[in-house]
Structure 1
């Protein structure tokens, strides 16, 4: 079972920012970017692996590098950081035009994660339940895909979501421009957990990881 390590408020540089944006002025924000995935698309096709699963793993790898994306509050409302978080992701059912939300334990080894995700998706492909595995664990973050259209802006409006500190990522349809393949990525964050600096670093690290397709065929790259 995953563990959340309490944060020492006496030494945490973010303690004032956290308190302000969680209590005094609750605030979430969204950032939408187009990520160049030209090399990733070629690499994932050559690998024979599933594109969506590879995208999910890449996102989870970035999230698990950084404390700000694994931030939570304990039962007393104090900040803590999960040792590891896992992706919860949507899978569409075309026959009913609904979807299920599944989750898979993150594994730094992409091949192991890929196989586990493929098995999980196959196991629940015929389910009409929203959460066929039951409620996801507390230490998950959300990924969804809108592969039917590209977009230049995307935001979720979550009622009473001020305590939701985990990132939410939405992916769009590839768009080709000037010979390059671009992926719309919408990143929604809680300002108590992360600022624009952290959001930009997330995007830049995702760009770098997707540009380096070596992990698709071999061992996962070491976290930085």
Structure 2
């Protein structure tokens, strides 16, 4: 694991906002949206790629474009940014009705990431421990999936959540509406790390990425 890189406070346009929402009024917020994944779902149906892995890679790709979604703090409590963050994701054990949390290093090459993540998913499918790979490192962000239900709202109430600067994503079951395939997506954000503008841009870029799923491949 690399170390987060301290931010130059003298030249940071969000310094006052960060300090306000980290120290004076610490808070998080959540937004739930429906992403049009019609082309994305069709491309995956024609391929041998795993839908969940493709969803994870798409989210991780957009997250890693923007430093506000790679926020951290140094040991001294100063704001910093991870050079890259990696997705941690849940795997359901149907027999036990429990889940495991695993992770795969982010790779900008989807094919390489897909193969690595698919291997991790297969290995964890029968896991009995919550963290079969060991404790998650500080430079991972969370993605979970609820493929059993769609939703129009989802919020995590985390004790001490105002100390969690990386985003958290929750995926729902696809739903069909007016001939389109939609994916419910909940995003939980620390306000010190990102404002509504940044989260809206992340959602828009995710929509654009799945609207042209040429990267899915065979």
- Distance, in Å, in 2 between the alignment partners of 1:133 and 1:25 is 36
- Structure 1's consecutive aligned runs of 4 or more residues displaced over 6 angstroms after TM superposition are none
Question: CA contact under 8 A between 2:28 and 2:190: conserved in structure 1?
Answer: yes
- Distance, in Å, in 1 between the alignment partners of 2:47 and 2:84 is 27
Aligned pair 1:147/2:144, yes or no? no
Deviations 1:125-154 (A, max 9, x none): 221100000011110000000010100000
Aligned pair 1:57/2:57, yes or no? yes
- Provide the secondary structure at the position in 1 that maps to 2:166: coil
Give the drift of 1:3: 3.2
- Distance, in Å, in 2 between the alignment partners of 1:26 and 1:39 is 39
- Provide the secondary structure at the position in 2 that maps to 1:162: helix
- Distance, in Å, in 1 between the alignment partners of 2:123 and 2:75 is 34
Question: CA contact under 8 A between 2:91 and 2:100: conserved in structure 1?
Answer: yes
Structure 1 unpaired stretches of 5+: 219-224
Q: Could you tell me the TM-score, scaled by structure 1's length?
A: 0.96
Q: Could you tell me the TM-score, scaled by structure 2's length?
A: 0.98
Give the drift of 1:124: 2.1
Aligned pair 1:5/2:5, yes or no? yes
- 1:138-177 aligned at under 5 Å gives the runs 138-177=138-177
Aligned position for 1:46: 46
- Distance, in Å, in 1 between the alignment partners of 2:154 and 2:123 is 30
Question: CA contact under 8 A between 2:91 and 2:124: conserved in structure 1?
Answer: no
- Distance, in Å, in 1 between the alignment partners of 2:120 and 2:172 is 22
- For the aligned residues, what is the CA RMSD? 0.9
- Provide the secondary structure at the position in 2 that maps to 1:39: helix
Aligned position for 1:222: none
Aligned position for 2:35: 35
Aligned position for 2:71: 71
Structure 2 unpaired stretches of 5+: none
- Provide the secondary structure at the position in 2 that maps to 1:52: helix
